Amino acid sequence: MPKNFKANITENILLNEHFRLLNLSPLSDIIVPEPGQFYMLRTGDTYDPLLKRPFSIFRHEDNTLKFLYRIRGKGTLSLSNLKSGDIIDVIGPLGNSYSAPEGDFIAIAGGIGIASLLPLLRRFKKRAYLFYGARNKDELIMLNEARSLSKEIFITTDDGSEGEKGLITDSLSDFLNPSRITHYALPIYACGPTPMLKELSKVVAEYPSSLLPLNKGRMGGVKCYVSLEEHMACGVGACLGCVVKTVSGYKRVCKEGPVFDIEEIVWE
Ligand SMILES: Cc1cc2nc3c(=O)[nH]c(=O)nc-3n(C[C@H](O)[C@H](O)[C@H](O)COP(=O)(O)OP(=O)(O)OC[C@H]3O[C@@H](n4cnc5c(N)ncnc54)[C@H](O)[C@@H]3O)c2cc1C
Ligand code: FES
């Protein structure tokens, strides 16, 4: 089945000042996406911006593809102005996906990173300890659904308007504290801004495999997978515009990612 297709916009719902939910009805048969995969969406019918923009699949149901997006710049602003009935060009699903957790797991979302993780939480209901951080209460988008799908939820905001005031990585660090031995064994799935992921790499590095009595024999400590949100141009591996430095050379986020083992990335 081709990955290039046209889709009809059925809804482009304003959730609040910053966020929208885009519902697309593909005009041809499509490949079913996996949690963590993404699509390149044409954001308007002019050539400005020229390039499509990448968005994680937020939900796929009844042959509708749903995307949760934050308005940031030209492309997302242009996307927010599209109306039901408009037709857009789409490529996807692209990239790899989150590996399936065997039991309970930890999910850590920073802001709009929740869009990429909710499909995983929906597939493995009530198995995630969700750590969800945002700038403020209004930016904790889809909080009710996130709460209902989680085994337990931990919330932080920068201004303390909801949950604890502070960084979500600090909250995770407390949770992983050595006195709560069972938590070391849980795999972690993360999506959010690069500073959050970089901080997460430091938290994870504090838990070497020698501290993992439940995971004897596993190399590298807490297993953690991160979805990276690099700028993309082609989205299909051709332009090298999205490369990241890894311990085994440069890799393309759109092709070898967007999900990587956190230990593979060279955090600079
Ligand atoms: C695999 C992947 C999945 C994504 N999924 C989602 C999603 O589900 N929902 C969502 O809202 N966004 C998602 N993004 C980010 C989204 O693609 C960008 O916000 C969008 O491309 C911005 O386009 P723009 O033209 O509006 O902004 P631009 O005019 O291109 O940029 C505006 C500002 O945002 C910054 N910016 C742009 N793109 C990125 C980026 N990728 N990472 C960090 N900063 C950036 C720019 O530096 C600039 O400061 C994803 C990105 C990737 C790579
Ligand atoms: S965006 Fe072109 S290679 Fe990744």
Domain residue spans of the chain: 4-94, 105-229+237-264
Hey, how many other C-beta atoms are within 10 angstroms of the C-beta on 165? 11
CA distance 163 to 150: 16
Ligand 2 contacts CB of residue 252 (under 6 A): yes
pLDDT at residue 205, rounded to an integer: 84
> Model pTM?
0.93
The four Cα atoms 75, 89, 8, 113 give a dihedral, to 10 degrees, of: -50
* Other Cβ atoms closer than 10 A to 255: 18
From 213, 191, 209, 208, select the one nearest 200 (Cα to Cα).
Answer: 191
Report pLDDT for 218. Answer: 40
44: its two tokens: 């308007």
Q: Closest ligand 1 atom, CA of 67? A: 8
Q: Which residue has the tokens 């242009």?
A: 78
**Residue 178 alpha carbon to ligand 1 centre in Å:** 36
Pocket around ligand 1: residues whose beta carbon is below 6 Å from it? Answer: 38, 49, 53-56, 67-70, 72-76, 112, 115-116, 229-232, 258
Q: Decide: 106 and 203 in contact? Cβ < 8 Å.
A: no
Per-residue pLDDT of the chain (268 residues; tens, 9 = 90+): 889 999 999 999 999 989 999 999 999 999 999 999 999 999 987 766 778 999 999 999 999 999 999 999 999 999 999 999 999 999 999 999 999 998 999 999 999 999 999 999 999 999 999 999 999 999 999 999 999 999 999 999 999 999 999 999 999 998 887 666 566 678 999 999 999 999 999 998 887 655 555 444 443 457 899 999 888 999 999 999 999 999 999 999 999 999 999 999 999 8
- Residue 73 CB neighbour total at 10 angstroms: 9
pLDDT of residue 22: 98
Distance 80 CA to ligand 1 centre (A): 14
Per CATH, the number for 105-229+237-264 is 3.40.50.80
Q: Which ligand is located closest to the Cα atom of residue 116?
A: 1
Q: What are phi and psi of 258, to 5 degrees?
A: -80, -5
Regarding beta strands 105-110 and 259-261, do their DSSP bridges make them parallel or antiparallel, or are they unpaired?
unpaired
Nearest residue to 262 (alpha-carbon basis) of 213, 202, 210, 176: 202
Peptide bond into 101 cis (omega under 30): no
Contact call for residues 59 and 16 (beta carbons, < 8 A): no
Domain with residues 4-94, CATH architecture: Beta Barrel (2.40)
Backbone angles phi and psi of 231, in degrees to 5: -65, 140
- Testing ligand 2's pocket by substitution, the residue of 52, 252, 260 carrying the most ligand atoms inside 8 A of its CB is 252
Environment class of 167 (CB within 10 Å of its CB; exposed 0-12, middle 13-18, buried 19+): middle
What is the whole-number distance in angstroms between the Cα of residue 162 and the centre of ligand 1?
25
**What is the maximal distance between C-alpha atoms in the chain?**
57
